[in-house]
Amino acid sequence: MDAAVTHIDLPVADVCAGAHFFRRVLAFPVHLHDGDHADVVLAPHLVGHLRRVPPHRATEAERQAGTLIELQVPSVREAVDEVRRRGATVLIDPVITEWDTISAFVAGPDDMVIELYAPCRAVGDDRPTGPPPRPVRHLGTVPAAHGAPAEETLQEEPAPR
């Protein structure tokens, strides 16, 4: 199959609040059509379609928390500092993951989670100074859409040997 992703549906209870978050906190262009619809330009050919879904009218799938948007950034620390200045709630500060990225997680609108990540590099990376955090943090419960329980946000396991 030859296909390309062009739109991502982002159901929210408050389109204006969602648009504000993507425009002010993450600095993406947003086109607010009305109080029920807005488009977030995530990439040249990828649009996040914010769509108002009143909680009493949401389908079971729309009620499931756990939408995760992964944003690769040049420096996770600088990105976290920037979104904090813009009012974002940082859920998890930068950590080195077991898949060799530096990742931080930010609360988005309506239970969305925004991951800010960068691959670790051999020289000049923005790894935290000192040894990697131990035990290794498994962030598998963020998001719940990957089958993890929504009430858990972080599991700790011994570091692999």
Beta pairing class for 7-12 and 46-52: parallel
**What integer is the mean pLDDT of 64-71?**
74
**What integer is the mean pLDDT of 60-85?**
82
Q: What is the pLDDT of residue 6?
A: 80
Q: What is the pLDDT of residue 1?
A: 55
Q: What is the pLDDT of residue 41?
A: 94
Segments of the chain assigned E as strands: 7-12, 30-34, 37-43, 46-52, 68-72, 90-96, 101-107, 113-119, 136-138, 155-157
Q: Say whether pLDDT at 142 is over 80.
A: no
What average pLDDT does the chain have? 74
Non-local CB neighbours of 38 within 8 Å, separated by 6+ positions: 15, 16, 18, 19, 30, 31, 32, 49, 50
Exposed/middle/buried for 113, CB within 10 Å: 0-12, 13-18, 19+? Answer: buried
Q: Say whether pLDDT at 144 is over 50.
A: no
- Between 6 and 15, the more confident residue is 15
Domain architecture of the chain: domains with CATH: 1-63 (3.10.180.10), 64-161 (3.30.720.110)
| Cβ atoms within 10 Å, residue 153 | 16
- What are the φ/ψ torsions at residue 70 (nearest 5 degrees)? -100, 125
Q: Say whether pLDDT at 61 is over 60.
A: no
Residues pairing with 9 in the sheet: 49
pLDDT, tens digit (0-9, with 9 covering 90-100), for 88-138: 999 999 999 887 899 999 999 988 889 999 998 744 445 444 334 333 333
- What are the φ/ψ torsions at residue 27 (nearest 5 degrees)? 65, 35
| Cβ atoms within 10 Å, residue 14 | 14
**What integer is the mean pLDDT of 58-63?**
59
Count CA atoms closer than 13 A to 156's CA, side-chain side: 3
**What integer is the mean pLDDT of 133-156?**
35
pLDDT, tens digit (0-9, with 9 covering 90-100), for 19-47: 999 999 999 999 999 888 999 999 888 99
Q: How would residue 73 be classed by pLDDT, with cut points 50, 70 and 90?
A: very high
